[in-house]
Each structure stands twice: as C-alpha cells, then as structure tokens.
Structure 1
Amino acid sequence: MQFMTSDNQASAYAKRAFGLMEELNVPPIPQNYEIWFGYASDQIPSLNKALDKIIAEKGGFTIDISSEIYRRFFSNVENAEIINETSAKIENEVSGVLDILGTASDEFAGFQDTIKSNLQDFTSVEKPVDFEEFIQNVVKETWKMQDTNEKLQSQLHKSSSEISTLRESLEETRKESLTDALTGISNRKMFDSFLARVSEEAVAEDTPLSLVIADIDHFKKFNDTFGHQVGDQVLKLVAADLSNNVKGQDLAARYGGEEFAIVLPNTKSNNALILTEQIRKSISSKKIRNRQTNTDFGAVTMSFGIAEFRSGEAIERFIQRADEALYKAKEAGRNQCMLAEN
C-alpha cells in the first residue's frame, strides 16, 4: 500500500511507528512495520480503530493478530495487482484481434484491387489478355485469399480462446478479492462497496435500509482456552449461519476479526431485529464439539447492534450507531440484540 507522505512526514511516521512497536513489544518484522507505519500515518481510519481496540484491551500484538490485521487491511494489494495484470493481458489480446482484422481488411482490399486490375486487362483493347490467363490469375488470387482466410480464422480462434481464459481468471480473482479467505463469505472490502451503493439507492428511492454489526462474545478467551484452530471453526460456523439466514439482496460479511455485519436493504429496523433475534437464537443453540476426541467446547453466543439508515447521514456515522448499539448489548450482558436510537 502506498502512503501519501513527504520525506519529513515519512520520517516522523517511521519514528512514531518504531516507538509504538517498542512500547507494545511488537516484533520489528517488515509486515508489522507496514501495519504500524499505517497507524502512525493516520491514513486508514478503520485500521487505527482496530489497533486502538487492541491497545485498549492490552492483549498483546501476537503473530495471529498481525496476520489478521495485515490480511484485512493490506493483502488486497496483491489481488489488485493480479487484476491489473490480467486486464492488461486482455487489452493486449483485444488489440491483437483488431490488428488481425485490420490486416484482413487490407488483404481483402488487395484481393479486390487485383481482381479489378485483371478484369480491366481482360477487357482492355490496348492490353489484351487471353481468357486462360485471366482465369489463372483469378484462381491464383482466390487461393491466396482462401489461405489468408484460414490463417485469419486460426488466429481469431486462438485469441478468442485466450481472452476467454483471461476473463475467467479475472472474474475469479475479483471474486477472491471480495471474499474472506477463512469463512468464505464477503469481506470488508465487499461490505464497504455494497453499503455505499445501497445507501445511495435508499436515498434515491426513499426506501429503508438497516445495518447489523455483530460480535462473538468472549471470543478472545475462547481462542486462548481452546486454540486458534477451534476459534477458526467458530468463525466458520457463525459465517455459515449468517449466510443461511440472509436472502436475495441482503449481504452478510466478515467485518474484521470476530466481528460480522449484515446489510439489509429495504428493511426497517424492527424487521431487522426479528431476523437478528432468529440468527442469535440459531447460533446460541449450537455447541462446538470435537467429534474425534468427544471434547465439548460449549455454546457460542453473539451480541448484535442494529441501526436504521437516516437519509443523508454519512456512512461512517451509520456504522458508528450500529457499533454503539452493539456495545450497549455487550454492556447489558451479551447474547442479545440492541436497537440504535433513530
């Protein structure tokens, strides 16, 4: 990721980043430096919010946390480079097709000119050409044109096949760039894009829009007690439950870490509450168990904050209100849903 800085700013950010890393005992590896340089530059508000939360909890900046933060805020750069590279290849192939067609046009024009010339010679009184010679010339040019046409078809087929393969690769890469690698549901990038679009539609069409921000209760303790592999299974279970309960135009996404989000277009907050209660009960009714060792890890619960979009409000404020409702749900005892004030 490129940060917009002058040399003096970069030096100041670097100094601050190293200071924070030393204070928090963060290993000085390149990945960590990029994360904390980003924090020091204050150019990615959501990154700063995530790191502020880690600092406040004083849980330590572990390798797993570093990997998660980097994946969430920096790993899309690689996908973007792949998309750009594939797009450039497609552009080159299309240019090649146009060149082939241009060459073919020249060949066809040359064929027409030659036939016309032979016909003029055949009918000319001043330059008579016998009938046999005329036919031979026409046949010769026709065979040349047929050969050109076969080569053209072969080249076009090859280019068409290459473009099709590149297009499929591009679509797959784009899909991956919008999908959370662990859970298989939409990622933060997709969430941001989708929420921006549907909020504009809600204003333009004067329709309701609700947002749910959810958090797995005591996930850190759960992770520390049973290990990250079990923690990953919990995240997958939650993601699957969210996906199974949202339909059609709705979107379920991993917001970051143990946080998830549900965007509900054309839905008022009271209906969003009904759906969210259904999801909460569904998740809390399940128990995590290791079938091989018959180990029972207990039930998973979640807290939910729900906000209804105010026409014209900033997206950041909309998310903040849902987030504030989530923290009220946690403060009230967790494993419950809370509506934001409208």
Structure 2
Amino acid sequence: MTDIAQSGRVTATPLSLSQAAPGDRRTSRLMSAVRGLFGGEQDDEARARTDPPSSPRDLYERIGTFLFNNQLDPLPTHYELAHAYISGSNRRLAFAVDRAIERDGILRDEVAEAILAETRTDMSAAALHKLIDEAQVGLATVAGVVKQSGADAQAYGEALEDKVAGLAAQEDVSQSVSALVFLTRAMIEKTRAAEHELRQAGKKMAALRSSLVEARRQADSDQLTGLANRRAFEALLARSVTEAKASQKPLSLAFCDIDNFKLINDKHGHEVGDRVLQFVARLLGEISNDKCHVARHGGEEFVMLFENIAAEKAFEIVEEARRSLAARRLAAKDSGEPLGQITFSAGVAQLTADDAKGRDMLRRADEALYRAKRAGRDQVIVA
C-alpha cells in the first residue's frame, strides 16, 4: 500500500557652478518617481476615506500616502490592507484601522498585521493582481531612475576629483581657489555617500520586486495542492482559446472529479481527504509540461488543458492517469487504515468553431464528466 504523505537622507551642499550637475535632472526624476510610488504628504489624510478615489491612479497614490504617513513598508500585505481601507471594501477593517490610528497616532506594523489577520475577507485575486501590477510598474520606474542616478553620481564624483587634483597640483593657488578645492572635495564625499545610498535603495527595491513576484505566484496557486488555482486556469484558458483560434491548432480540455470523495471525508476525516487531494494533484501534476497544464478547479475537481493536442490524444493521456490512480491502494498515514480504491471520472472536450469562449468547451467537458459519473464512474468520456 502507498502511504499518503503530508505534504538616511543625504543633503548635498550646492556649488555655484556655471552648469548644473549632470545628475540634477535625474535626481528630480527620482524624487518624482518616489513621490509617485509612496505618495506625497497631505495635511488631510482623511480625504482617502471621505472621498472615493476618482481613478485607479488616484487610488494608487492614496495607498502610497497611507503607507508613507503610517511608516509602513511597501509590502504586499500592507498594500492589501491599504487597498481595503481606502476603497472601503472592508468596513470592519476600516473601523479597526481608524481606532488604532486614533489610539497610537499611526498604524504600527504589528497592529496592521493583526488587523489584517482578524478581518481578512480574501480580497479578490483579480484585485490583488491589479494592485501587484501597479506596484511593479511604479517600482520599475523608480529602480530605473535609481540605477541611472547612481551611475551619474559616480561619474560626477570622478569628474570632480580629476578637476580638483589638477587645481591642487598648481603651485600658484590663490586663497579663493584653495577654498573652492576644499568645498569641492567635500562635495565629492557627499556624492560618494549619495551613490552608496542609491545602491542600497536599488537593492531594497529589487527585494521588494521579488516579494511582489512571489505574491503574484501565491495569488495564482492553490494553497493545498500547489497547482494553479481556478482564477489562473481561467486566465490561461482565455489566452489559449484566442491563440488556438488564430493558429487553427487543436485545443482540448479535461474535467476530472474524484469519485465518492464525500464518503472519504465522512469516513476518514477532512485531514485524510486533504491528503487524498494532494496525492491526486501530484499524480496529475506529473503529466504537466509546456503543452499540458493542470489546475485545481475547486473541491475535488481538477482541470487539464492540452495545447496543440486533439481530444483523442488528450483522452489517452487522461485515461493513463485514471488507470494509474485506480491501480493504487492507499492507506491513511497515521492509522494505516486502508482507504480502498481511489478513482476519478473525467470528461474531455475539444475546441470547436462554435465555441465562442473557453467556458463553452469547459461546459461540454463538464457534461461528458457527468455522463461518466452516471455510467458508473472511474472512466473517461469524450464529448
């Protein structure tokens, strides 16, 4: 039998030079980009809640202002809390945030985490993706300016150092020139310090962008099985249908459902039921490749999308997986109690010219699945 395993700000002294420093314009762009990302200070933060955002950009700027004024790092969880607070989508959260700010003056990090954990209502994946996209655009802009500004600061410092070395080498140096040399050397040090600050800021932004990428991955994944979730699958299905219609290449889909799964939960408990789901997910996941995509559709249902594969071939692939599962004899890991034979039924459908959208093919696969159920389960039927 097979056991089911558990799965600091730098202030530069300006010099009176005939031309502006090479990095001045880029520094201005950097500050503009940072303000755009984190929001400028406002005298009346309450505007974020009393007036609805006039546009997505307005909402994004208010989120930045909220994070900045409350000294919260721009982390995905903080974006989620700020979005719910400012958009008014979670009244319980908004009330808790208002009370915390009234009590402490600002929303402290640990309080924000506690409020989010207590009031989270599973923000829609679409809304979270939109927020991540907006944050990544802002970070990309700032990161680009930081990188170029750091290079400008380094080049400016090197140019100043060369000029000062030339002045200091002259034998007849007036007092005013000596003072200029002194001030310029001081400016070189400040430029070097600024360059270091910019490099550190760049590293922090790179780390934050990585955390946003991870947030996107989590938003697309089913927490129990690690497979793609329903939202991610539906997005992939829509793209694949468009591509298949344009290329005239076949596209097939399989809708799978574990047989008598409720009986497993009722007899052995939900923990064992979860392990069965994870086991089936791993088995189906072994089929996954660049042309076959597997996702958990919900509950005990799984979907498989076959790109450039006709229904007959998709049937063979799913049928092989069905036979492999049916041949296993599973036992509960903790008690060793046999679970009996675990099987699934499936329906397969191929995209046709009459299918306007992916849901039409999915519906036909679902109908074939239920024909398989009515015919005795543990079988695959092609629509």
Tell me if TM exceeds 0.5: yes
Map 1:35-184 onto structure 2 (within 5 A): 75-77=122-124, 80-81=127-128, 84=131, 88=135, 91=138, 94-95=141-142, 98=145, 101=149, 131-133=173-175, 135-137=177-179, 139-184=181-226
Picking from 340, 364, 372, the partner of 1:298 is 340
**Match in the other structure for 1:232:** 274
**Match in the other structure for 1:322:** 365
Identify unmatched segments of 5+ residues in structure 2: 1-119
Change (3 A) 1:200 1:162: same
How far is the alpha carbon of 1:284 from its aligned partner? 1.0
Change (3 A) 1:91 1:237: same
1:273 pairs with 2:321: no
1:199 pairs with 2:241: yes
What is the aligned length? 255
> What is the CA–CA distance in structure 2 between the aligned matches of 1:96 and 1:332, rounded to whole Å?
59
| Equivalent residues of 2:132, 2:212 under 8 A apart | no
How far is the alpha carbon of 1:78 from its aligned partner? 7.2
**Match in the other structure for 1:22:** none
| Equivalent residues of 2:347, 2:370 under 8 A apart | yes
**Match in the other structure for 1:46:** none
| Equivalent residues of 1:203, 1:312 under 8 A apart | no
Change (3 A) 1:171 1:275: same
Map 1:221-260 onto structure 2 (within 5 A): 221-260=263-302
> What is the CA–CA distance in structure 1 between the aligned matches of 2:241 and 2:332, rounded to whole Å?
42
Give the secondary-structure state (helix, strand or coil) at the position aligned to 2:203: helix
How far is the alpha carbon of 1:81 from its aligned partner? 4.4
| Equivalent residues of 2:128, 2:219 under 8 A apart | no
Change (3 A) 1:152 1:287: same
> What is the CA–CA distance in structure 2 between the aligned matches of 1:319 and 1:174, rounded to whole Å?
25
Q: Which has the higher contact order (CA 8 A, sep 6+)?
A: 2
How far is the alpha carbon of 1:172 from its aligned partner? 0.7
Give the secondary-structure state (helix, strand or coil) at the position aligned to 2:378: coil
**1:320 maps to amino acid:** R
Deviations 1:52-92, CA, capped at 9 Å, x for gaps? xxxxxxxxxxxxxxxxxxx9xx7353794497279548836
Deviations 1:113-171, CA, capped at 9 Å, x for gaps? xx8xxx9xx9xxxxxxx644465255335413421321221121121111111111101
| Equivalent residues of 2:139, 2:209 under 8 A apart | no
> What is the CA–CA distance in structure 2 between the aligned matches of 1:143 and 1:209, rounded to whole Å?
68
> What is the CA–CA distance in structure 2 between the aligned matches of 1:249 and 1:148, rounded to whole Å?
55
**2:376 maps to amino acid:** G
> What is the CA–CA distance in structure 2 between the aligned matches of 1:241 and 1:285, rounded to whole Å?
12
> What is the CA–CA distance in structure 1 between the aligned matches of 2:210 and 2:174, rounded to whole Å?
54
Tell me how large the CA RMSD over aligned residues is: 3.5
| Equivalent residues of 1:83, 1:173 under 8 A apart | no
The percentage of aligned residue pairs carrying the same residue is 32
Question: Which of 217-226 and 183-192 deviates more?
Answer: 217-226
| Equivalent residues of 1:186, 1:254 under 8 A apart | yes
Larger Rg: 1
Question: Which of 77-86 and 294-303 deviates more?
Answer: 77-86
1:264 pairs with 2:311: no
Runs of 4+ aligned structure 1 residues displaced above 3 Å come to 78-83, 85-90, 92-102, 130-135
1:337 pairs with 2:344: no
Question: Which of 92-101 and 303-312 deviates more?
Answer: 92-101
Change (3 A) 1:85 1:304: closer
